[in-house]
C-alpha cells in the first residue's frame, strides 16, 4: 500500500464510526435538531480560526515552496470559503454573528484545536500534515457518502454539497499529493508518528460531532 493508503487504514475504523453517528444520520433524514446543528456551526466557526493558524504553521515548515503556497492558500480558504457558508447558515438558524464570535470553545473544540496547534508547532512538517489531514479527508469522504442519500432539509443539503463538491475535492487532492511526496522521504519512525497523529485527529473528528450531538458544555462556569 502507498503511504496515503496506510494512513487511511489507520483512520478507517474511526471514520466508520463517524458515518454511523446519529448526528450524520439526522443530517440525511432531516431530523437533526436545529439546536444541535446550531451548536455545531458555532463551534465549527471557532475551530476554523485555529485550524487556519495550524495550517499556516504547517506551511511555514514545508520544505518546498509549492507546499508552502498550498497550505497558505488553504489557511485563507478555511477562513473565507467555509465562513461564507457559515454566514448563510447563521442567518437561517437565527444566530447572532456577534454572539457566535464571542462564544466559548467547548471542551472538545478546545482540546482538538490545542492538539493541532501543539503538533504543528512542536512536530515536524510530516507530523503537522498528518494531524491536519483528517479534517480534509474525513469531511470529503463524509460528503461523498452523504450526498448519495441527500437531505430533505435545504440547510443540511447545502452543507453536504459543500463537502461533496468538486472544489473541496481539489483542495483535498492537493494535500494528498503532499502526502505522496512525503512518502518519498519519510523514514519508518516518521511514518509511525504520522499514523499516531492521524489517528488522534480522526478521533477528535468523531468527538467533535459527538459533542454537537450532546451539546457538550463545561462542567463549571468560566467565572464563579
Which residues are annotated as catalytic? 135, 205
Phi then psi dihedrals of residue 104, to 5 deg: -85, 135
Amino acid at each position: 500500500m502507498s503511504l496515503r493508503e496506510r494512513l487511511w487504514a489507520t483512520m478507517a475504523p474511526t471514520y466508520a464510526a463517524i458515518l454511523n453517528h446519529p448526528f450524520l444520520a439526522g443530517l440525511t433524514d432531516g431530523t437533526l435538531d436545529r439546536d444541535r446543528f446550531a451548536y455545531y456551526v458555532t463551534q465549527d466557526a471557532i475551530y476554523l480560526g485555529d485550524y487556519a493558524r495550524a495550517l499556516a504553521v504547517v506551511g511555514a515548515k514545508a520544505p518546498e515552496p509549492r507546499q508552502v503556497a498550498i497550505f497558505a492558500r488553504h489557511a485563507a480558504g478555511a477562513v473565507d470559503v467555509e465562513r461564507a457558508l457559515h454566514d448563510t447558515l447563521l442567518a437561517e438558524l437565527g444566530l447572532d454573528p456577534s454572539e457566535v464570535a464571542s462564544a466559548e470553545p467547548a471542551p472538545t473544540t478546545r482540546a482538538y484545536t490545542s492538539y493541532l496547534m501543539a503538533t504543528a508547532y512542536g512536530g515536524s512538517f510530516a507530523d503537522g500534515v498528518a494531524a491536519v489531514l483528517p479534517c480534509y479527508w474525513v469531511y470529503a469522504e463524509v460528503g461523498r457518502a452523504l450526498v448519495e442519500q441527500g437531505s430533505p432539509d435545504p440547510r443540511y443539503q447545502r452543507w453536504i454539497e459543500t463537502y461533496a463538491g468538486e472544489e473541496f475535492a481539489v483542495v483535498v487532492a492537493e494535500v494528498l499529493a503532499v502526502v505522496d511526496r512525503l512518502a518519498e522521504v519519510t523514514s519508518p519512525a516518521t511514518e509511525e508518528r504520522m499514523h499516531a497523529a492521524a489517528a488522534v485527529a480522526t478521533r477528535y473528528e468523531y468527538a467533535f460531532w459527538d459533542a454537537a450531538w450532546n451539546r457538550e458544555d463545561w462542567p463549571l462556569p468560566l467565572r464563579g
